[in-house]
């Protein structure tokens, strides 16, 4: 019901980038969001009052073209990561704000880790350059250590010096955002389909009832549409933009305040347009039921490392992601270094998403949830109560250690358990092609005689001609005895075999096999 399918390629149109502003506390995120908004007001009717709806759009010129950028109006990576933990991708680009008089701080790195974990490109705004003691070059040098190398130093990250207070550098920052979007992202969406997107903020308004700010991600949202948003549903009665103006329709990347929902959704819930109110109610109820059972399943099982590894063995993941929290920076660094030195070959990797000093917070847990299979390591630290509850609910694995070598031993054993199982081929049967039939929808089917073993439907197959393998990795997708479907056909019998290979010919040999897991020594 909610997906990435954009429909016809021909219908795709450019959409504005969606930006989140992140950085250390007091480095000027809020001030910057205000400054951007002030210097670039999209034409507003006289007397219009700015509405803080959770996101806004500004106009910017780039290469002589009029462009737009959408800013999420909640500074910080917390909302961003909380939304991501719900599976919502809210942001295309992160602006990392660093005060030039203060330099890189722990939360700067935390924010950067969160952006990088989400694969979101970063533009750095070096703020407060009006202040005495501001050292923008030091910020560039400091961030190099974390993989953000400024363009002027031969890297690919754009750094822009700004003063949110004086409004200097804002246009250059907008330009840098558009440059980064054009260079690194393909921001297109199909405006012709029914709208889909996410809620970025919602509350119960005294006069208007439940209101939600939604970000349209594809399609066009119109007044009168029936929508489901999380477990809330309803018909869009009216929409307002961030200027407080009524809006009839909203295209991709446009944030609008939606009225008409029957309940308040959560930030990060996705919304879809459906055919009518009845359908909307049905889907909302289904979602609520599904969520209840998912919650129950989650709280009844805490995922252990062992379970994670069984996921890994099934080939679902090949990377162990860690979040390391410790009591002092020395221990965090020592632990990270030691863990990264564990050698288990190239099949599995260990990636540290985030490391910091201090108790395990809700943000850490959300980061782990967002990354699905991340494990949190607490070295002489414990979770805050809310983080503990969240971890419990979400089934996030937290491991506690107070001795480094114990942590290393356990993670090493775990990583070894993650090694993908080896497979070996088991021969099943061979058949000789006697005739070839054209069958509508299936393609060419080989009328064959089974020469050895059994031919089993859905097993793997290869085609051999004059002793040479001419096609491999095929699947026995149809198998028939006379007119009937068969699941297997034995040696000495005739059958029709379809392997999805149209150049099959008389006298070819079809060899079938299965890949079985090799028992590990």
Residue 31: CB minimum distance to ligand GDP, A: 3
Which of 290, 238, 203 is closest to 1 using CA atoms? 290
Q: Nearest approach, Cβ of 160 to ligand GDP (angstroms)?
A: 12
136: contact with ligand GDP by CB under 6 A: no
Q: Which stretch binds ligand GDP (CB under 6 A): 122-130, 147-155, 418-426, 428-436?
A: 122-130
Q: How far is the CB of 134 from ligand GDP (least distance, A)?
A: 9
Please choose, out of 124-132, 373-381, 421-429, 489-497, the segment that lies near ligand GDP by the rule CB under 6 A: 124-132
Nearer to ligand GDP, 174 or 497 (CB): 174
Separation between Cα atoms, residue 64 and residue 62, nearest integer Å: 5
Contact of 232 with 261, CB cutoff 8 Å: yes
Residue 497 binds to ligand GDP (criterion: CB under 6 A): no
Residue 74 within binding range of ligand GDP, rule CB under 6 A: no
Is 230:272 a contact under the CB 8 Å cutoff?
A: no
Q: Which of 13, 25, 289, 439 binds ligand GDP (CB under 6 A)?
A: 25
Of the two residues 165 and 281, which places its CB atom closer to ligand GDP in the complex? 165
77 contributes a contact to ligand GDP by CB under 6 A: no
- Please give the backbone phi and psi of residue 456, each rounded to the nearest 5 degrees, phi first: -115, 135
Q: Is 131 in the site for ligand GDP (CB under 6 A)?
A: yes
**Which part of the chain contacts ligand GDP (CB under 6 A), choosing from 8-16, 66-74, 128-136, 213-221?**
128-136
Q: How far is the CB of 257 from ligand GDP (least distance, A)?
A: 23
Q: Which of 20, 74, 163, 430 binds ligand GDP (CB under 6 A)?
A: 163
Instruction: Classify each residue of 429-451 as buried b or exposed e, where b means 16 or more C-beta atoms within 10 Å of its C-beta.
Output: bbbbbeebeeeeeebbbbbbebe
Alpha-carbon torsion (107, 113, 119, 121), positive or negative: positive
Q: Report, in Å, the least distance between residue 121 CB and ligand GDP.
A: 21
> Which residues are registered as beta bridge partners of 201?
213
Least Cα distance to 37 among 53, 23, 15 occurs for 53
Count of helix runs (H) and strand runs (E) in the chain? 11, 29
Distance CA 121, CA 113 (A): 11
* Residue 165 interacting with ligand GDP (CB under 6 A): yes
Q: Which stretch binds ligand GDP (CB under 6 A): 103-111, 162-170, 359-367, 458-466?
A: 162-170
User: In whole angstroms, how close is the CB of 222 to ligand GDP at the nearest point?
Assistant: 35
CB 38 to ligand GDP: min, Å: 13
357-396 footprint of ligand GDP as x/- string (CB under 6 A) = ----------------------------------------
Rounded to a whole number of angstroms, the minimum distance from the CB of residue 76 to ligand GDP is 8
Q: Which of 83, 117, 124, 164 binds ligand GDP (CB under 6 A)?
A: 164
Calpha distance 266→86 (Å, rounded): 10
Residue whose CB is less far from ligand GDP, 128 or 140: 128
CA dihedral 21, 320, 89, 66 (to 10 degrees): 60
- For ligand GDP, which is the closer residue by CB, 98 or 257? 98
What's the DSSP call for residue 10? Answer: G
DSSP-assigned letters across all residues of 74-127: S-SHHHHHHHHHTT----SEEEEEEETTT---HHHHHHHHHHHHTT--EEEEEE
- Using CB under 6 A, which residues numbered 389 to 448 contact ligand GDP? none
H helix runs in 342-384, sequence order: 362-370
218 touches ligand GDP by CB under 6 A = no
User: How many residues bind ligand GDP, per CB under 6 A?
Assistant: 16
- SS3 category, 326: strand
Tokens of 71: 């800013």
Backbone torsion region of residue 256, taken as left when φ is above 0, otherwise alpha when ψ lies between -120 and 50, otherwise beta: beta
Comparing CB distances to ligand GDP, the nearer of 75 and 429 is 75
Residue 322: how many CB atoms within 10 A of its CB?
22
Nearer to ligand GDP, 95 or 445 (CB): 95
Output the six-digit token pair for 33: 């969001």
Q: Which stretch binds ligand GDP (CB under 6 A): 21-29, 107-115, 172-180, 186-194?
A: 21-29
Structural contact between residues 300 and 222, judged by C-beta atoms closer than 8 angstroms: no
Q: Which stretch binds ligand GDP (CB under 6 A): 9-17, 125-133, 191-199, 378-386?
A: 125-133
End-to-end CA distance of the chain: 44
CA distance 162 to 126: 6
Segment near ligand GDP (CB under 6 A); pick from 18-26, 261-269, 399-407, 447-455: 18-26
How far is 415 from 160, CA to CA, in rounded Å? 41
Residue 62 structure tokens: 């780039």
Contact range with ligand GDP by CB under 6 A, out of 127-135, 297-305, 411-419, 501-509: 127-135
The dihedral region occupied by 467, where left means phi > 0, alpha psi between -120 and 50, and beta the remainder, is: left
**Would you tell me how many other CB atoms lie within 10 Å of the CB of residue 333?**
14
Per-residue binding letters, 26-45, with ligand GDP (x by CB under 6 A): xxxxxx--------------
| Under rule CB under 6 A, residue 139 binds ligand GDP | no
Residues at the interface with ligand GDP (CB under 6 A): 23, 25-31, 75, 127-128, 130-131, 163-165
């Amino acid at each position: 019901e909610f997906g990435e399918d954009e429909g016809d390629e021909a219908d795709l149109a450019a959409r504005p980038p969606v930006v989140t502003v992140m950085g250390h506390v007091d480095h000027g995120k809020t001030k910057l969001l205000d400054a951007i908004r002030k210097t670039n007001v999209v034409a507003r009717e006289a007397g219009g009052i700015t509405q803080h709806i959770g996101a806004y759009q500004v106009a910017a010129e780039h290469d002589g073209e009029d462009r737009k950028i959408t800013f999420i109006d909640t500074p910080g990576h917390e909302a961003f990561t909380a939304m991501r933990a719900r599976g919502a991708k809210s942001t295309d680009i992160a602006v990392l704000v660093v005060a030039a008089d203060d330099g890189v701080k722990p939360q700067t790195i935390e924010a950067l880790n969160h952006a990088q974990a989400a694969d979101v490109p970063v533009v750095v705004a070096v703020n407060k350059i009006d202040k005495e003691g501001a050292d923008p070059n030091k910020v560039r040098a400091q961030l190099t250590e974390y993989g953000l190398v400024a363009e002027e130093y031969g890297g690919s990250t754009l750094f822009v010096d700004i003063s949110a207070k004086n409004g200097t550098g804002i246009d250059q920052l907008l330009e840098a955002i558009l440059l980064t979007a054009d260079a690194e992202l393909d921001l297109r969406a199909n405006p012709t389909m029914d709208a889909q997107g996410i809620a970025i903020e919602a509350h119960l308004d005294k006069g208007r009832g439940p209101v939600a700010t939604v970000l349209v991600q594809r399609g066009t949202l119109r007044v009168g549409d029936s929508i489901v948003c999380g477990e809330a549903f309803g018909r869009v009665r009216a929409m307002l933009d961030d200027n407080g103006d009524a809006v009839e329709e909203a295209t991709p990347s446009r944030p609008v305040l939606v009225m008409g929902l029957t309940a308040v959704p959560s930030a990060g819930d996705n919304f879809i347009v459906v055919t009518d109110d009845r359908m909307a109610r049905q889907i909302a109820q289904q979602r609520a039921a599904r969520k209840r059972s998912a919650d129950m399943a989650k709280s009844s099982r805490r995922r252990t490392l062992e379970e994670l590894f069984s996921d890994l063995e099934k080939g679902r993941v090949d990377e162990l992601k860690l979040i390391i929290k410790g009591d002092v920076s020395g221990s965090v660094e020592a632990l990270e270094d030691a863990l990264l030195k564990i050698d288990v070959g190239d099949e599995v990797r260990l990636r540290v998403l985030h490391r910091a000093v201090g108790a395990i917070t809700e943000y850490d847990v959300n980061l782990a949830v967002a990354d699905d299979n991340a494990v949190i390591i607490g070295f002489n630290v414990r979770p805050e109560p809310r983080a503990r509850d969240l971890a419990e609910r979400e089934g996030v694995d937290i491991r506690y250690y107070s001795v480094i070598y114990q942590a290393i031993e356990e993670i090493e054993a775990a990583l070894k358990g993650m090694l993908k199982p080896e497979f070996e081929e088991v021969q099943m049967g061979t058949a000789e092609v006697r005739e070839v039939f054209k069958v509508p929808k299936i393609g060419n089917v080989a009328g064959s005689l089974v020469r050895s073993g059994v031919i089993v439907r859905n097993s793997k197959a290869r085609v051999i001609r004059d002793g040479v393998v001419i096609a491999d990795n095929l699947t026995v997708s149809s198998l028939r005895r006379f007119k009937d479907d068969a699941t297997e056909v034995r040696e000495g019998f005739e059958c029709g075999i379809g392997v999805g290979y149209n150049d099959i010919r008389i006298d070819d040999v079809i060899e079938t096999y299965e890949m079985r897991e090799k028992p590990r020594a």
